[in-house]
C-alpha cells in the first residue's frame, strides 16, 4: 500500500498561512515612480479578503533590486486575488518601472521568535507535515480560438518541432501536453528547475515563435507577441496555476495514459470545485486498487482542468475518473458545474456520459527521455 511518505504532492488546500515573495528589478531612475505605484497598490491589497500584511525592502547591495513580502490567511485567498481581473488592472502601472519580476509562494511551516502574533492569526496554524516533492513545477496556459478553426489549430499544435529540452544546468523541460475541448486549448507544461527560465527559453525558440505567429489569426483574444505589453497581458490572463498535485511513486509503465477533463464552474465556484476534485484524489492515492497514478488540478477563477495519468481507460471506473467516487460527490459536483443541466449523474451510465462530455481531446503529449 502507498504510504503518506511515498506520495509526491503539492497543494494550495492544506489550510496553512501563505508567504508570498516578489523579487523586482527596477529600471534605472524609476525608484520614485515605483514607490508611488506601490503605495496605491498597497492600499488596494490591504482591503482584499485574506490579506494580512506586507513589507517593502530595498537591497543594500544593489538599490535597483527590491523585495515585497506579503502574508495571507491561506493560498486560496491569495490565488483568488492574484488571478482576478482586478489584480491584472492594478499591477499594470508597475510595468513602466519594473524591468523584471519573480514571484515565489510558500506555506508557512514554522514560526519562531517572541513577537506576539496578531489576534486574528491565533487560529491559523502553520502547516505541520511537509510534503514530498519531485523537483518538477507544473503550470498550464489556456486560450480559445475562433469557432470553425479548431481543426487547423489542432494540426498546428500537433506538428511543431519541440524546443531543446535542456535549458541550463539546473533547468530542463520535462513534459508538454496539449488538449482541446471545443474551441478551448489547454497546454500543460512540466519543468525541472526554474519555470520562468524555462518559459522564457521556450518563447525565444524560432520554431515556437513560428507556431505562435501561425496561431495568432485564429485566436479569439488578439495579441501581438512583438509588443511586450500585449504579450504580458495575454500570458497573464492565459496562466492557470496548479493548485493540487498528488502521485504515487510507482515505476513508469506504457500502460499509463494521460487524460484531461474540463470542468466549467459556476460563477464563484471554481475554487470549491477544485477542492472537491483534489480531496478525492488525495484520499484515493492510498488505495492499492486505484488506477490513477497522478492527478493535477489546475484552477483559475471558474476555469478548472484536471490532468490524470491513469492505468487503463477512464470508463473502467467512471466515478473515480470524473472525481466523484464515494459519498454524495456527484451531487456536489453537479451544483458547482455551470454545464450541469442534465440533472445529477447517479448511475454508472449517467456518470460515464458526463465523463465523456468532460474529456478533452489529446493533441500532443511530448515527454523528454530520462537522462542516463
pLDDT in tens, 59-110: 999 999 999 999 999 999 999 999 888 888 888 888 889 998 899 999 988 8
Report phi then psi at 12, rounded to 5.
-90, 5
Cell, residue 161:
518541432
Could you please state the CATH topology (level 3) that the domain comprising 136-241 is classified under: Alpha-Beta Plaits (3.30.70)
Cα dihedral across residues 311, 317, 319, 320: positive or negative: negative
Number of Cβ atoms within 10 Å of the Cβ of 162: 14
Single pTM value for the model: 0.89
Please provide the distance, in angstroms rounded to a whole number, between the alpha carbons at the two ends of the chain.
Answer: 29
Per-residue pLDDT of the chain (372 residues; tens, 9 = 90+): 334 446 788 999 988 899 999 999 999 999 999 999 999 999 999 999 999 999 999 999 999 999 999 999 999 999 999 988 888 888 888 888 999 889 999 998 888 765 545 554 545 555 557 788 888 999 999 999 999 999 999 999 999 888 888 999 899 999 999 999 999 999 999 999 888 888 888 888 899 899 999 999 999 988 888 888 888 888 888 999 999 999 986 656 678 999 999 998 999 999 999 999 999 998 888 788 889 999 999 999 999 999 999 998 998 899 999 998 887 888 888 889 886 555 667 777 888 888 999 999 999 999 886 554
CA distances in angstroms from 115 to 34, 51, 111, 118, 160, listed in the order given: 30, 19, 10, 9, 56
Q: What is the pLDDT of residue 372?
A: 43
Question: What is the pLDDT, as a whole number, of residue 114?
Answer: 58
CATH architecture observed for domain 18-108? 2-Layer Sandwich (3.30)
Asked if CATH classification 3.30.70.100 holds for the domain at 243-362, the reply, yes or no, is yes
Residues 130, 107: Cα–Cα separation, whole Å:
9
**Residues 85 and 11 sit within 8 Å (Cβ to Cβ):** no
Q: Distance between CA 167 and CA 194 in Å, rounded? A: 10
Q: Cβ(135)–Cβ(194) under 8 Å?
A: no
Cα distances (angstroms) measured from residue 303 to each of 181, 239, 262: 12, 11, 8
Cβ neighbours, 10 Å, residue 332: 15
Chain region(s) in the chain for CATH 3.30.70.100: 18-108, 136-241, 243-362
Helix, strand, coil % in the chain, rounded to nearest 5: 35, 30, 35
Amino acid at each position: 500500500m502507498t504510504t503518506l511518505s511515498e506520495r509526491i504532492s503539492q497543494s494550495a488546500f492544506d489550510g496553512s498561512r501563505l508567504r508570498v515573495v516578489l523579487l523586482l528589478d527596477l529600471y534605472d531612475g524609476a525608484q520614485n515612480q515605483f514607490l508611488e505605484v506601490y503605495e496605491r497598490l498597497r492600499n488596494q491589497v490591504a482591503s482584499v479578503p485574506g490579506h494580512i500584511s506586507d513589507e517593502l525592502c530595498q537591497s543594500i547591495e544593489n538599490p535597483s533590486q527590491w523585495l515585497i513580502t506579503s502574508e495571507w490567511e491561506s493560498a486560496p485567498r491569495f490565488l483568488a486575488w492574484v488571478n482576478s481581473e482586478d489584480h491584472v488592472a492594478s499591477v499594470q502601472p508597475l510595468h513602466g518601472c519594473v524591468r523584471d519580476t519573480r514571484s515565489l509562494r510558500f506555506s508557512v511551516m514554522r514560526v519562531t521568535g517572541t513577537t506576539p502574533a496578531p489576534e486574528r492569526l491565533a487560529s491559523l496554524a502553520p502547516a505541520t507535515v511537509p510534503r514530498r516533492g519531485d523537483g518538477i513545477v507544473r503550470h498550464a496556459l489556456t486560450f480559445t480560438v475562433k469557432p470553425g478553426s479548431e481543426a487547423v489549430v489542432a494540426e498546428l499544435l500537433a506538428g511543431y518541432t519541440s524546443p531543446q529540452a535542456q535549458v541550463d544546468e539546473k533547468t530542463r523541460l520535462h513534459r508538454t501536453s496539449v488538449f482541446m475541448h471545443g474551441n478551448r486549448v489547454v497546454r500543460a507544461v512540466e519543468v525541472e528547475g526554474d519555470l520562468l527560465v524555462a518559459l522564457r527559453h521556450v518563447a525565444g525558440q524560432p520554431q515556437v515563435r513560428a507556431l505562435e505567429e501561425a496561431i495568432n489569426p485564429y485566436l479569439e483574444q488578439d495579441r501581438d507577441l512583438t509588443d511586450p505589453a500585449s504579450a504580458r497581458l495575454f500570458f497573464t490572463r492565459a496562466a492557470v496555476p496548479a493548485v493540487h498535485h498528488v502521485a504515487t511513486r510507482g515505476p513508469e509503465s506504457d500502460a499509463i495514459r494521460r487524460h484531461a477533463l474540463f470542468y466549467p464552474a459556476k460563477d464563484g465556484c471554481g475554487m470549491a470545485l477544485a477542492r472537491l476534485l483534489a480531496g478525492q484524489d488525495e484520499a484515493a492515492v492510498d488505495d492499492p486498487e486505484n488506477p490513477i497514478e497522478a492527478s493535477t488540478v489546475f484552477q483559475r477563477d471558474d476555469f478548472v482542468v484536471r490532468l490524470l495519468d491513469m492505468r487503463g481507460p477512464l470508463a473502467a471506473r467512471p466515478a473515480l475518473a470524473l472525481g466523484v467516487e464515494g459519498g454524495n460527490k456527484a451531487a456536489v459536483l453537479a451544483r458547482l458545474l455551470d454545464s450541469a443541466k442534465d440533472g445529477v449523474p447517479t448511475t454508472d451510465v449517467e456518470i460515464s456520459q458526463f465523463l465523456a462530455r468532460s474529456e478533452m481531446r489529446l493533441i500532443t503529449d511530448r515527454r523528454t527521455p530520462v537522462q542516463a
